[in-house]
Chains A and B, each alone.
Chain A
Amino acid sequence: MNIHEYQAKLLLGRHGVPAPTGVACDTPLKAKDFAQELFEQGQRRVVLKAQIHAGGRGKGTFKNGLKGGVQICGDAEEVYERAKKMLGGTLVTNQTGPEGRVVSHLLVEAASDIKKEFYLAVLLDRATSRPMVMVSTEGGMEIETIAREKPEKILKEIVDPAVGLMPYQARKLAVALGFTGDMLHSASKLFLGVYQTWWENDASLLEINPLCVVEQPGGKASLVVDAKMSFDDNALYRHPDILAMRDLAEESPLEIEASKYTLNYIKLDGNIACMVNGAGLAMATMDIIQHFGGRPANFLDVGGGAKKEHVTAAFKIILGDPNVRGILVNIFGGIMQCDIIAQGILAAAREIDINVPLVVRLAGANADIGNKMIAESDLKVASASSLTEAASKIVQAVAQSPK
């Protein structure tokens, strides 16, 4: 699960990690009122940041023509006018796809006088199965770009989970980034707070980009200027506060529907839908569709314990994608009995009109019973004994079917 920048900054704040003064606003009036407060406190500039779960906001464009998902304003009236265009607008960035995302919240913040920018992230290092803190002096750039172009600019510190990130490790990173004097201590403290935020909330990624050294009335300070945070879905049961931050508007409606039936569904951009049991086999089924020249419309793992109702729901979901021109069902029965799948397919066919070619391959436990049930029904379905046969049949059928 992902959360918005303003929510990540709230969690960071609870661990003493400083960010610019800001509030999330959902109306232009609220944005204006809060900006007014900031101006009265002596701020000269206020920044409005569109809250969507995608990067590239600064360089994005709203469908109404406004350029930039991050706007800097010099007075409260300007804040009101810009907020009016941003809120409810659809922002398209290089990460949203052409459909873009609707902006329902703006983070209104004091604009920082930035002197230096850094990159900081906490994530799992799979090679060591331990947490890893990663920093770079190349703040503001995407980490993939730094890794490709200047890998020597990335420093990593592996954390022993028995003790957590130690202060000496935080100081080592701060020194490597060039911090000295008092700033060395405040930066180290910030790193420790960021690590704590990651660990205690069961985050999978916490990325601060950029982490900035800013000039403030009282002197220089380190601030989190942008934050991106995602969580381990398997641990959300112990974090009701984070679960409450879920923004369904950021998720695909079909994927939300699938999650209600504990189906693992990911929409892709092809036209051959597939329904498979097991994640590895589901990926392999997508691959073999492509091998025969087709394009998979989705990833769908119905799981090991699926009942008839789950299968029916799965059919509704894959047919909810208007691009789908054919369906391939590939089940290797084990825990899952093939006759249960067959029952689900027949029940789905009674409830909804399956008006595209359907190829079913059942193997393993009770495959014979399942195949017989389908063969004896009046459902128009091609069966296949191997995955190769199934994939080539559906690709062919879709190629021949009218658009």
Chain B
Amino acid sequence: MSILVNSETRVMVQGITGGYGAAHARLSLAYGTKITAGVTPGKGGQLFEGRIPIFNTVEEAKRQTGATATAIFVPPPLAADAILEAVAAGLDLVVCITEGIPVRDMVKVKRVIQGTTTRLLGPNCPGITTPGDGPESQGGCRIGIIPWQLHKKGNIGVVSRSGTLTYEAVSQLTAVGLGQSTCAGIGGDPVHGLSHIDIVKMLDADPDTHGIVMIGEIGGSSEEEAAAWIKDHCRKPIAGFVAGATAPPGRRMGHAGAIINGGTGTAAAKIQAMREAGIAVAPTPSAIAETLVARMREMGVL
């Protein structure tokens, strides 16, 4: 099993005719992802790569192809509208890759999606991958931009706010022989959809996930919330890492959400919360996989 997506998930791509969206749609198709539709208003009726139908609206793409998930690659000023169109169409999962969406737009989006059944991953995230059963773990579901070559099918769930730091962790896991059940990037923006806690709960409930890697960074309290829940509920081995121990307060470190404000959101506080929850915190970003291996051995699950 896996969380949120599997090899059967039917995916549409909003912004499939843009350079970035097209490039990653091709990579996902090559990986074996069931991309059934593209959406570009005004280009309905055309075909992507000569075979994937393009629609003018998300609603039509869903109705005609049965897609239940979407990857959003539209420019920042149009992204909030694209997310809400997918929510209105009743998709199960919306993965928004777009970086640079105004916070006010996301505050409105968050307000509207409350109470709906749609789950939002991102924005400003690398997406989600569930490796497949084929050679080199192909045939899985890749929504977003994570390089699929890093993955190996297995039993470790990964959740992270960062893109390349996730790649670092996944490649370490694969190198030590630990494959992944699902890797999900929740994004680096201050207002986002699913949080660490939501993904950890799903990974905890997934029988095929035997261990978890949770990667955080400075800013906000997503890591602390997840740690508080883990302390009382999760018995699976978890390795954690928090980036930004050397970041100066009051400065945004690249990600819009990575900022220490008024003494809150520090790496030290997050690391402490993780340790109190029984999470093994990696001392350096190079030691994420070995920290998980050690914890799994300690708990007798490896």
Contacts and interface: CB of A to CB of B under 8 A. Distances in A.
B217 A291 contact: no
Contacts of A304: 145, 163
B104 A278 contact: no
Contact of A130 (B105, B111, B215, B286): B111
Contacts of A278: 162-165, 254
Contacts of B267: 287
Contacts of A144: 262-263
Nearest to B163: A278
Give the interface residue-count category, chain A: 35 or more
B107 A334 contact: no
B103 A202 contact: yes
B104 A199 contact: yes
A332 B164 contact: yes
Give the interface residue-count category, chain B: 35 or more
Nearest to A386: B286
Interface in B134-174: 145-147, 149-150, 160-168, 171
B247 A281 contact: no
B284 A387 contact: yes
A279 B284 contact: no
Interface stretch (A28-36, A210-218, A221-229, A232-240): A232-240
A145 B176 CA distance: 47
B110 A129 contact: yes
Interface string A379-395: 00000001110010000
B147 A279 contact: no
Contact of A281 (B106, B219, B285): B285
B100 A281 contact: no
Contacts of A284: 165, 168, 241, 243, 284-285
A65 interface: no
A248 interface: no
A143 B264 CA distance: 12
B77 A266 contact: no
B171 A363 contact: yes
A364 B104 contact: no
> Interface on chain B toward A: helix, strand, loop, or mixed SS?
loop
B262 A202 contact: no
Interface in B163-209: 163-168, 171, 188, 190-191
A163 to B, nearest CB: 10
Residue of B160, B164, B241 most packed against chain A (CB within 10 A): B164
A375 B285 CA distance: 26
B151 to A, nearest CB: 12
A281 B284 CA distance: 11
B171 A364 contact: yes
Contacts of A282: 253-254
Contacts of A264: 254
Given A161-B111, A232-B104, A268-B248, A283 B253 contact: yes
Contacts of A126: 190-191, 219-221, 257
Contacts, number: 170
Given A287-B243, A287-B246, A202 B104 contact: yes
Contacts of B278: none
A314 to B, nearest CB: 13
A344 to B, nearest CB: 17
Nearest to B258: A279
Contacts of A202: 102-104
B244 interface: yes
B243 A234 contact: no
A290 B103 contact: no
A47 to B, nearest CB: 27
Contacts of B145: 304, 334-335
A287 B162 contact: no
A296 B102 CA distance: 30
B167 A387 contact: no
Contacts of A237: 77
B35 to A, nearest CB: 18
A334 B111 contact: no
B1 interface: no
Interface in B234-273: 241, 243-248, 251, 253-258, 262-263, 267
Contact of A160 (B77, B111, B167): B111
Interface string B274-302: 00000000011111000000000000000
Residue of A237, A278, A386 most packed against chain B (CB within 10 A): A278
B162 A296 contact: no
A129 B253 CA distance: 20
B101 interface: yes
A286 B247 contact: yes
Nearest to A305: B20
B254 A279 contact: yes
A301 interface: yes
Interface in B207-223: 215, 217-221
Given A144-B262, A237-B77, A283-B247, A299 B254 contact: yes
A204 interface: yes
Interface in A361-376: 363-365
Complex A-B, nearest 8 residue pairs according to Cβ-Cβ distance, in ascending order: A280-B162, A279-B254, A278-B164, A235-B102, A280-B165, A284-B285, A283-B243, A388-B286
Given A234-B76, A304-B163, 7 more contacts: A129-B191, A161-B111, A278-B163, A283-B247, A283-B254, A286-B244, A388-B286
Interface of A: 124, 126-127, 129-131, 143-144, 147-148, 160-162, 199, 202, 204, 232-235, 237-238, 264, 266, 268, 276-291, 296, 299, 301, 304, 332-335, 363-365, 386-388, 391
Interface of B: 76-77, 100-108, 110-111, 126, 145-147, 149-150, 160-168, 171, 188, 190-191, 215, 217-221, 241, 243-248, 251, 253-258, 262-263, 267, 283-287
10 contacts: A124-B190, A199-B104, A204-B103, A234-B102, A266-B251, A266-B253, A286-B244, A304-B145, A334-B126, A335-B145
